[in-house]
Amino acid sequence: MPFRFLSLLFVAVLSLASTEAQAVDDSNTLIIELKTGEVKIELLPDVAPKHVERIKTLAKEGAYDGVAFHRVIDGFMAQTGDVQFGKGDNLSRAGTGGSSYPDLPAEFSKIPFERGTVGMARSQNPNSANSQFFIMFDEGSFLNGQYTVVGRVTDGMNFVDNIKKGSRAANGSVDDPDKMISVRVGG
């Protein structure tokens, strides 16, 4: 009888630990709904706390909902997140805006830019990231240590692969671009 009690207690403790771990993971999971399906991104607050907090804040505010993938280069990356000019009638200016929040200081790391890595877009100023981010289609080691890594795709990369591509001649600019239908934090 004592052995059965200990076994049940052990199972209960493992179940509780698993539930708590899932809750922690959910608070750092970004879910992007595309027209083809959901993309799940594991955010990395230990790597880039200020940038991750910004993305979570904008997602919770609904600021990313309906924002276009304004720059998409096949074999490189898909960029989105311009909450100022990335939706509605402002698409001709997409990629030049940010949010109403101030720009963020760089949080560069040693995490490499590989397929599925999510990084923050910025201007030439390393401390200019604001709301825009990009998802890598392939390896991009030339970005390592130059851009802030905020996460990695854990599910739905096949849906990212299907985002409408732009013209290389136009630096990836996309006519009638795909959009993030909705963006939320948590499972």
* Segment 130-167, tens digit of pLDDT: 999 999 999 999 999 999 999 999 999 999 999 999 98
Q: Which CATH fold topology does 29-185 show? A: Cyclophilin (2.40.100)
SS3 of 41, please?
Answer: strand
pLDDT score at 164: 97
* 66 pLDDT above the threshold of 60: yes
Alpha carbons 133 and 129: distance in angstroms, whole number? 9
Domain boundaries, the chain: 29-185
Strand 133-136 versus strand 77-80 pairing type:
antiparallel
Residue-wise burial string across 77-96, b where 16 or more C-beta atoms lie within 10 A, e elsewhere:
bbbbbbbbbbbeeebeebbe
- Mean pLDDT over 45-59 rounds to 98
**Cα 5 to chain center, whole Å?**
45
Give the sign of the dihedral formed by CA 157, CA 35, CA 181, CA 77. positive
CA distances from 62 to 56, 111, 145, 161, 184 (A): 10, 28, 30, 24, 8
